[in-house]
Structure 1
Protein backbone atom coordinates (compact mmCIF):
# COMPACT_ATOMS: atom_id res chain seq x y z
CA UNK A 1 0.00 0.00 0.00
CA UNK A 2 2.91 2.32 0.77
CA UNK A 3 4.28 1.97 -2.79
CA UNK A 4 0.82 2.77 -4.18
CA UNK A 5 0.67 6.01 -2.19
CA UNK A 6 4.11 7.05 -3.42
CA UNK A 7 3.00 6.41 -7.01
CA UNK A 8 -0.21 8.42 -6.57
CA UNK A 9 1.70 11.27 -4.91
CA UNK A 10 4.25 11.32 -7.72
CA UNK A 11 1.48 11.44 -10.35
CA UNK A 12 -0.35 14.22 -8.52
CA UNK A 13 2.87 16.26 -8.41
CA UNK A 14 3.48 15.66 -12.13
CA UNK A 15 -0.08 16.64 -13.07
CA UNK A 16 0.11 19.79 -10.94
CA UNK A 17 3.48 20.74 -12.44
CA UNK A 18 2.11 20.32 -15.97
CA UNK A 19 -0.95 22.41 -15.07
CA UNK A 20 1.26 25.19 -13.67
CA UNK A 21 3.50 25.14 -16.76
CA UNK A 22 0.43 25.25 -19.03
CA UNK A 23 -1.02 28.17 -17.08
CA UNK A 24 2.26 30.13 -17.13
CA UNK A 25 2.78 29.49 -20.84
CA UNK A 26 -0.72 30.74 -21.68
CA UNK A 27 -0.36 33.72 -19.35
CA UNK A 28 2.93 34.72 -21.01
CA UNK A 29 1.39 34.27 -24.46
CA UNK A 30 -1.53 36.48 -23.47
CA UNK A 31 0.93 39.24 -22.58
CA UNK A 32 2.47 39.08 -26.06
CA UNK A 33 -0.69 39.44 -28.12
CA UNK A 34 -3.85 41.51 -28.35
CA UNK A 35 -7.07 39.79 -29.40
CA UNK A 36 -9.15 42.19 -31.47
CA UNK A 37 -11.53 39.61 -32.89
CA UNK A 38 -12.28 38.91 -36.52
CA UNK A 39 -13.65 42.43 -37.14
CA UNK A 40 -10.24 44.04 -36.57
CA UNK A 41 -9.41 46.32 -39.52
CA UNK A 42 -6.32 45.45 -41.52
CA UNK A 43 -3.20 47.47 -40.65
CA UNK A 44 -2.22 50.27 -43.01
CA UNK A 45 1.40 50.47 -41.91
CA UNK A 46 4.21 48.24 -40.70
CA UNK A 47 4.18 46.99 -37.14
CA UNK A 48 6.51 49.35 -35.19
CA UNK A 49 9.01 46.59 -34.34
CA UNK A 50 9.14 45.44 -37.98
CA UNK A 51 9.66 49.04 -39.07
CA UNK A 52 12.46 49.56 -36.54
CA UNK A 53 14.20 46.31 -37.52
CA UNK A 54 13.86 47.23 -41.21
CA UNK A 55 15.66 50.52 -40.60
CA UNK A 56 18.37 48.67 -38.66
CA UNK A 57 18.72 46.18 -41.54
CA UNK A 58 19.27 48.99 -44.05
CA UNK A 59 21.84 50.66 -41.76
CA UNK A 60 23.77 47.44 -41.06
CA UNK A 61 23.85 46.52 -44.75
CA UNK A 62 25.17 49.97 -45.65
CA UNK A 63 28.12 49.48 -43.25
CA UNK A 64 29.29 46.64 -45.52
CA UNK A 65 28.60 48.64 -48.70
CA UNK A 66 25.27 47.05 -49.61
CA UNK A 67 22.47 49.38 -50.63
CA UNK A 68 19.14 47.76 -49.65
CA UNK A 69 15.89 49.06 -51.14
CA UNK A 70 12.55 48.17 -49.55
CA UNK A 71 10.22 47.44 -52.45
CA UNK A 72 7.06 46.44 -50.60
CA UNK A 73 5.62 46.59 -47.10
CA UNK A 74 1.92 46.46 -46.19
CA UNK A 75 -0.47 45.18 -48.84
CA UNK A 76 -4.24 45.29 -48.87
CA UNK A 77 -6.14 42.06 -49.39
CA UNK A 78 -7.03 43.34 -52.88
CA UNK A 79 -3.38 43.93 -53.75
CA UNK A 80 -2.52 40.47 -52.45
CA UNK A 81 -5.30 38.89 -54.55
CA UNK A 82 -3.94 40.65 -57.64
CA UNK A 83 -0.43 39.38 -56.92
CA UNK A 84 -1.81 35.88 -56.39
CA UNK A 85 -3.47 35.97 -59.81
CA UNK A 86 -0.13 36.76 -61.48
CA UNK A 87 0.98 33.65 -63.31
CA UNK A 88 -2.46 32.12 -62.90
CA UNK A 89 -5.39 34.00 -64.45
CA UNK A 90 -3.07 36.93 -65.30
CA UNK A 91 0.13 36.84 -67.31
CA UNK A 92 3.58 36.60 -65.79
CA UNK A 93 5.34 34.33 -63.36
CA UNK A 94 3.82 33.06 -60.11
CA UNK A 95 5.26 35.24 -57.35
CA UNK A 96 3.19 34.13 -54.34
CA UNK A 97 1.11 31.27 -53.04
CA UNK A 98 -0.66 33.54 -50.55
CA UNK A 99 -4.16 34.75 -51.38
CA UNK A 100 -5.65 37.97 -50.00
CA UNK A 101 -5.53 37.84 -46.19
CA UNK A 102 -3.04 34.94 -46.23
CA UNK A 103 0.18 36.98 -46.36
CA UNK A 104 2.10 38.51 -43.48
CA UNK A 105 2.25 41.62 -45.69
CA UNK A 106 -1.50 42.00 -45.11
CA UNK A 107 -0.85 42.38 -41.37
CA UNK A 108 2.12 44.79 -41.52
CA UNK A 109 4.55 42.05 -40.53
CA UNK A 110 6.51 41.61 -43.77
CA UNK A 111 8.69 43.50 -46.21
CA UNK A 112 10.26 42.76 -49.58
CA UNK A 113 13.68 44.04 -50.53
CA UNK A 114 15.98 44.42 -53.51
CA UNK A 115 19.43 45.89 -54.03
CA UNK A 116 20.61 49.09 -55.66
CA UNK A 117 23.77 48.66 -57.71
CA UNK A 118 26.57 51.22 -58.15
CA UNK A 119 24.78 52.72 -61.19
CA UNK A 120 21.71 53.42 -59.04
CA UNK A 121 19.58 50.71 -60.66
CA UNK A 122 17.36 48.49 -58.52
CA UNK A 123 18.31 44.88 -59.19
CA UNK A 124 16.92 41.49 -58.26
CA UNK A 125 20.09 39.51 -59.04
CA UNK A 126 20.66 37.16 -56.10
CA UNK A 127 24.26 36.55 -57.28
CA UNK A 128 25.24 40.25 -57.32
CA UNK A 129 28.40 40.99 -55.30
CA UNK A 130 28.58 44.76 -55.36
CA UNK A 131 30.83 45.01 -52.31
CA UNK A 132 33.30 42.59 -53.96
CA UNK A 133 33.82 40.36 -50.93
CA UNK A 134 33.15 37.10 -52.79
CA UNK A 135 29.67 36.66 -51.28
CA UNK A 136 26.23 37.35 -52.70
CA UNK A 137 25.00 40.69 -51.34
CA UNK A 138 21.47 39.28 -51.39
CA UNK A 139 22.38 36.45 -49.04
CA UNK A 140 24.44 38.77 -46.82
CA UNK A 141 21.32 40.92 -46.36
CA UNK A 142 19.25 37.80 -45.57
CA UNK A 143 21.79 36.78 -42.91
CA UNK A 144 21.67 40.25 -41.30
CA UNK A 145 17.87 40.12 -41.36
CA UNK A 146 17.80 36.74 -39.64
CA UNK A 147 20.14 38.06 -36.93
CA UNK A 148 17.56 40.83 -36.36
CA UNK A 149 14.73 38.31 -35.94
CA UNK A 150 13.28 38.18 -39.44
CA UNK A 151 12.36 34.94 -41.18
CA UNK A 152 13.59 34.86 -44.77
CA UNK A 153 11.50 33.63 -47.70
CA UNK A 154 14.60 32.04 -49.26
CA UNK A 155 14.58 29.42 -46.50
CA UNK A 156 11.10 28.11 -47.36
CA UNK A 157 9.95 25.48 -49.86
CA UNK A 158 8.70 28.20 -52.23
CA UNK A 159 11.80 30.36 -52.67
CA UNK A 160 10.69 33.96 -52.13
CA UNK A 161 14.11 35.61 -51.95
CA UNK A 162 12.90 39.22 -51.51
CA UNK A 163 10.58 38.33 -48.60
CA UNK A 164 11.31 38.98 -44.91
CA UNK A 165 8.75 38.64 -42.12
CA UNK A 166 8.36 38.74 -38.37
CA UNK A 167 5.43 36.59 -37.33
CA UNK A 168 5.81 37.02 -33.54
CA UNK A 169 4.77 33.38 -33.19
CA UNK A 170 1.41 34.00 -34.86
CA UNK A 171 0.06 31.89 -37.70
CA UNK A 172 -1.92 33.39 -40.57
CA UNK A 173 -5.01 31.68 -39.12
CA UNK A 174 -4.51 33.46 -35.79
CA UNK A 175 -4.03 36.80 -37.57
CA UNK A 176 -7.20 36.21 -39.60
CA UNK A 177 -9.06 35.64 -36.32
CA UNK A 178 -7.92 39.05 -35.04
CA UNK A 179 -4.94 38.16 -32.87
CA UNK A 180 -2.16 40.78 -33.21
CA UNK A 181 1.29 41.21 -31.68
CA UNK A 182 1.59 44.04 -29.20
CA UNK A 183 3.15 47.24 -30.54
CA UNK A 184 6.10 47.07 -28.15
CA UNK A 185 8.59 44.30 -27.55
CA UNK A 186 7.22 41.67 -25.17
CA UNK A 187 8.67 41.61 -21.66
CA UNK A 188 10.76 38.53 -21.08
Structure 2
Protein backbone atom coordinates (compact mmCIF):
# COMPACT_ATOMS: atom_id res chain seq x y z
CA UNK A 1 0.00 0.00 0.00
CA UNK A 2 2.83 2.38 0.88
CA UNK A 3 4.51 1.56 -2.43
CA UNK A 4 1.32 2.39 -4.31
CA UNK A 5 1.01 5.77 -2.53
CA UNK A 6 4.67 6.51 -3.19
CA UNK A 7 4.17 5.73 -6.91
CA UNK A 8 1.13 8.00 -7.04
CA UNK A 9 3.04 10.74 -5.23
CA UNK A 10 5.97 10.44 -7.65
CA UNK A 11 3.62 10.58 -10.65
CA UNK A 12 1.93 13.73 -9.34
CA UNK A 13 5.31 15.28 -8.51
CA UNK A 14 6.63 14.44 -11.99
CA UNK A 15 3.49 15.86 -13.58
CA UNK A 16 3.75 19.06 -11.51
CA UNK A 17 7.40 19.53 -12.47
CA UNK A 18 6.58 18.95 -16.14
CA UNK A 19 3.74 21.49 -16.08
CA UNK A 20 5.95 24.03 -14.29
CA UNK A 21 8.78 23.60 -16.81
CA UNK A 22 6.37 23.83 -19.73
CA UNK A 23 4.81 27.07 -18.45
CA UNK A 24 8.24 28.55 -17.69
CA UNK A 25 9.51 27.74 -21.18
CA UNK A 26 6.42 29.29 -22.78
CA UNK A 27 6.89 32.48 -20.80
CA UNK A 28 10.52 32.73 -21.92
CA UNK A 29 9.78 32.15 -25.61
CA UNK A 30 7.03 34.74 -25.85
CA UNK A 31 8.38 37.48 -28.07
CA UNK A 32 8.65 40.93 -26.70
CA UNK A 33 7.37 43.61 -29.06
CA UNK A 34 10.20 44.74 -31.33
CA UNK A 35 10.57 48.47 -31.80
CA UNK A 36 10.72 49.66 -35.37
CA UNK A 37 13.06 52.43 -36.50
CA UNK A 38 11.54 55.85 -36.99
CA UNK A 39 13.64 57.07 -39.89
CA UNK A 40 16.07 56.22 -42.63
CA UNK A 41 19.20 54.32 -41.56
CA UNK A 42 22.13 56.81 -41.51
CA UNK A 43 24.20 54.66 -43.90
CA UNK A 44 21.29 54.41 -46.35
CA UNK A 45 20.72 58.16 -46.06
CA UNK A 46 24.39 58.88 -46.78
CA UNK A 47 24.40 56.55 -49.80
CA UNK A 48 21.19 58.17 -51.05
CA UNK A 49 22.79 61.61 -50.82
CA UNK A 50 25.83 60.29 -52.71
CA UNK A 51 23.51 58.88 -55.38
CA UNK A 52 21.87 62.27 -55.85
CA UNK A 53 25.28 64.01 -56.06
CA UNK A 54 26.86 61.48 -58.43
CA UNK A 55 23.89 61.43 -60.80
CA UNK A 56 23.76 65.24 -60.82
CA UNK A 57 27.36 65.24 -62.11
CA UNK A 58 26.07 63.22 -65.08
CA UNK A 59 23.26 65.71 -65.71
CA UNK A 60 20.56 63.51 -64.13
CA UNK A 61 18.25 64.85 -61.45
CA UNK A 62 17.05 62.10 -59.10
CA UNK A 63 14.05 62.65 -56.85
CA UNK A 64 13.56 60.42 -53.82
CA UNK A 65 9.82 59.79 -53.83
CA UNK A 66 9.77 57.61 -50.72
CA UNK A 67 12.17 56.61 -47.98
CA UNK A 68 11.32 55.46 -44.50
CA UNK A 69 7.73 54.30 -44.25
CA UNK A 70 5.94 53.44 -41.00
CA UNK A 71 4.11 50.12 -40.70
CA UNK A 72 0.83 52.07 -40.69
CA UNK A 73 1.78 53.89 -43.90
CA UNK A 74 2.79 50.55 -45.42
CA UNK A 75 -0.62 49.07 -44.56
CA UNK A 76 -2.34 52.03 -46.26
CA UNK A 77 -0.21 51.53 -49.35
CA UNK A 78 -1.00 47.79 -49.31
CA UNK A 79 -4.73 48.60 -49.44
CA UNK A 80 -4.33 50.33 -52.83
CA UNK A 81 -5.88 48.19 -55.52
CA UNK A 82 -7.44 45.93 -52.90
CA UNK A 83 -9.79 47.64 -50.45
CA UNK A 84 -8.92 51.16 -51.65
CA UNK A 85 -8.98 52.63 -55.13
CA UNK A 86 -6.05 52.52 -57.51
CA UNK A 87 -3.76 49.79 -58.68
CA UNK A 88 -1.69 47.40 -56.58
CA UNK A 89 1.68 49.00 -55.88
CA UNK A 90 3.02 46.65 -53.20
CA UNK A 91 2.69 43.12 -51.94
CA UNK A 92 4.15 44.01 -48.54
CA UNK A 93 2.06 44.74 -45.47
CA UNK A 94 3.32 46.77 -42.51
CA UNK A 95 6.55 45.26 -41.18
CA UNK A 96 7.15 43.33 -44.42
CA UNK A 97 9.03 46.02 -46.34
CA UNK A 98 12.61 47.21 -46.03
CA UNK A 99 11.11 50.74 -46.07
CA UNK A 100 9.65 49.99 -42.62
CA UNK A 101 13.18 49.45 -41.27
CA UNK A 102 14.69 52.55 -42.88
CA UNK A 103 16.66 50.49 -45.39
CA UNK A 104 14.98 51.42 -48.69
CA UNK A 105 14.19 54.39 -50.91
CA UNK A 106 12.19 54.82 -54.10
CA UNK A 107 13.30 57.21 -56.80
CA UNK A 108 12.14 58.94 -59.95
CA UNK A 109 13.70 61.30 -62.47
CA UNK A 110 13.10 65.03 -62.77
CA UNK A 111 13.06 66.64 -66.19
CA UNK A 112 14.35 70.18 -66.92
CA UNK A 113 10.69 71.29 -66.98
CA UNK A 114 10.38 70.00 -63.37
CA UNK A 115 8.19 67.02 -64.26
CA UNK A 116 8.77 63.94 -62.11
CA UNK A 117 8.81 60.85 -64.32
CA UNK A 118 9.30 57.10 -64.06
CA UNK A 119 10.22 56.65 -67.74
CA UNK A 120 12.96 54.02 -67.83
CA UNK A 121 13.92 54.97 -71.42
CA UNK A 122 14.25 58.73 -70.87
CA UNK A 123 17.68 60.09 -71.85
CA UNK A 124 17.62 63.62 -70.48
CA UNK A 125 21.40 64.02 -70.49
CA UNK A 126 21.43 62.85 -74.12
CA UNK A 127 24.41 60.53 -73.82
CA UNK A 128 22.69 57.61 -75.57
CA UNK A 129 21.98 55.74 -72.33
CA UNK A 130 18.69 55.71 -70.44
CA UNK A 131 19.08 57.88 -67.34
CA UNK A 132 17.28 55.21 -65.33
CA UNK A 133 19.97 52.63 -66.13
CA UNK A 134 22.68 55.13 -65.22
CA UNK A 135 21.03 55.80 -61.85
CA UNK A 136 20.69 52.07 -61.13
CA UNK A 137 24.36 51.44 -62.02
CA UNK A 138 25.52 54.21 -59.69
CA UNK A 139 23.18 52.99 -56.93
CA UNK A 140 24.55 49.45 -57.19
CA UNK A 141 28.07 50.86 -57.01
CA UNK A 142 27.09 52.51 -53.72
CA UNK A 143 25.86 49.20 -52.30
CA UNK A 144 22.17 49.35 -53.11
CA UNK A 145 20.19 46.39 -54.42
CA UNK A 146 17.64 47.20 -57.12
CA UNK A 147 14.03 46.03 -57.12
CA UNK A 148 14.22 45.69 -60.91
CA UNK A 149 16.47 42.66 -60.41
CA UNK A 150 13.85 40.78 -58.41
CA UNK A 151 12.61 37.60 -60.12
CA UNK A 152 8.93 38.05 -59.23
CA UNK A 153 7.43 41.49 -58.65
CA UNK A 154 9.70 43.98 -60.41
CA UNK A 155 9.87 47.19 -58.38
CA UNK A 156 11.84 49.46 -60.71
CA UNK A 157 11.96 52.59 -58.50
CA UNK A 158 13.06 50.59 -55.42
CA UNK A 159 16.59 50.63 -53.97
CA UNK A 160 17.51 48.95 -50.70
CA UNK A 161 20.43 47.98 -48.49
CA UNK A 162 19.79 44.87 -46.43
CA UNK A 163 23.24 44.58 -44.78
CA UNK A 164 22.90 40.79 -45.03
CA UNK A 165 19.68 40.77 -43.02
CA UNK A 166 16.44 39.19 -44.13
CA UNK A 167 12.99 40.53 -43.37
CA UNK A 168 12.66 37.75 -40.78
CA UNK A 169 15.86 38.97 -39.10
CA UNK A 170 14.51 42.53 -39.01
CA UNK A 171 11.12 41.39 -37.73
CA UNK A 172 12.92 39.54 -34.92
CA UNK A 173 14.71 42.70 -33.82
CA UNK A 174 18.07 42.49 -35.57
CA UNK A 175 19.31 45.80 -36.90
CA UNK A 176 22.20 46.75 -39.19
CA UNK A 177 25.14 48.86 -38.04
CA UNK A 178 24.35 52.52 -37.66
CA UNK A 179 20.67 51.98 -36.89
CA UNK A 180 19.27 54.07 -34.10
CA UNK A 181 17.54 50.97 -32.76
CA UNK A 182 19.86 47.98 -32.63
CA UNK A 183 19.19 44.58 -31.16
CA UNK A 184 21.08 43.52 -28.08
TM-score range, shorter chain: 0.7 to 0.9
Deviates more, 1:64-73 or 1:134-143: 134-143
On the 8 A contact 1:38/1:178 being kept in 2, the answer is no
| 1:49 lines up with 2:43 in the alignment | yes
The secondary structure found in structure 2 opposite 1:43 is coil
| Structure 1 counterpart SS, 2:175 | strand
Structure whose CA Rg is larger: 2
Indicate whether 1:94 and 2:88 are aligned: yes
Q: Distance in 2 between matches of 1:99 and 1:40?
A: 16
Partner of 1:58: 52
TM-score (norm 2): 0.77
What stretches of structure 2 of length at least 5 have no aligned partner? 1-30, 180-184
- Offset from partner CA, 1:80-138 (integer Å, 9 cap, x none): 01111111122211111111100000000000111110101111111111001111111
Residue 124, structure 1, aligned to residue 118, structure 2: yes
In structure 1, which of residues 95, 104, 109 is the aligned counterpart of residue 98 of structure 2?
A: 104
Alpha-carbon distance in 2 for matches of 1:160, 1:67: 20
> Which residue pairs with 1:164 in the alignment?
159
CA distance in 1, matches of 2:43, 2:32: 23
Higher mean C-alpha displacement, 97-106 vs 120-129: 120-129
**Structure 1 match to 2:21:** none
Shift >3 Å, 4+ stretches: none
Report the Cα distance in structure 1 between the residues aligned to 2:40 and 2:46, rounded to whole angstroms: 9
Distance 2:121 2:83 in 1: 31
Partner of 1:181: 176
TM-score, normalized by length of structure 1? 0.76
Q: Which structure 1 segments of 5+ residues have no match? A: 1-36
Out of 49, 56, 74, the residue aligned to residue 68 of structure 2 is 74
Equivalences, count: 148
CA distance in 2, matches of 1:64, 1:46: 26
- The CA RMSD over aligned residues, in Å, is 1.3
How much does 1:74 deviate?
0.6
1:13-67 Cα distance to aligned partner (Å, 9 max, x none): xxxxxxxxxxxxxxxxxxxxxxxx8533211111111011001000110010000
